[in-house]
Structure 1
């Protein structure tokens, strides 16, 4: 399956686009740069991982994407608190980011189980 077919990649890409739109009028370049980078990092790392050859590499990049979601949630909370971002929209994005993190967590576990299964196939009895 290509990464473009993954629902989690599609949702993460939409979230990244929404972050760019939401921060369009933010004048603090440092904040704007950081939050757009963390948002863009999520679908980018999902895509990069899916293009890797081994399951271990795929998992590593899914962890990077999940970590970027944690970073993004933090920035959304802070942006809302300091009135850089509309609170209601930011909290909606926090909810979506947390749902994506759960999906990535499940995908990571699925791939880890696949590694264990593959390794069990090579065990000599």
Structure 2
């Protein structure tokens, strides 16, 4: 995903949906908890972005921090982490639309007739979808 597109990071944590969305060009970053915007900020040009939020766990509010770094290389993906309760969790990048999804990796060609036979047998065993 290049810098011209929105970027979304997502993690399900303790029964809550936590999402970070960076706007095109990385000028604005929003933090959503369970689909609701809880924090937003202008993204610093040369520094990591830090946003704070909280979710309720068993009636007790639990604070957390999300940090979004800058991409190491032009056009690369920044690193996004969720920090809560002394633990740090990597938030993976998720595509915003089906058109942005990564293509499935092709299955490599079989190297031997035995490998081809094993694949054919495995394919025949799978129940129809």
Instruction: Give TM-score, length-normalised by structure 2.
Output: 0.23
Could you say which structure has the higher strand fraction?
2
Query: Looking at CA atoms only, which structure, 1 or 2, has the larger radius of gyration?
Result: 2
Instruction: Give TM-score, length-normalised by structure 1.
Output: 0.24
Could you say which structure has the higher helix fraction?
1
Point out which structure has higher relative CO (alpha carbons under 8 A, 6+ apart).
1
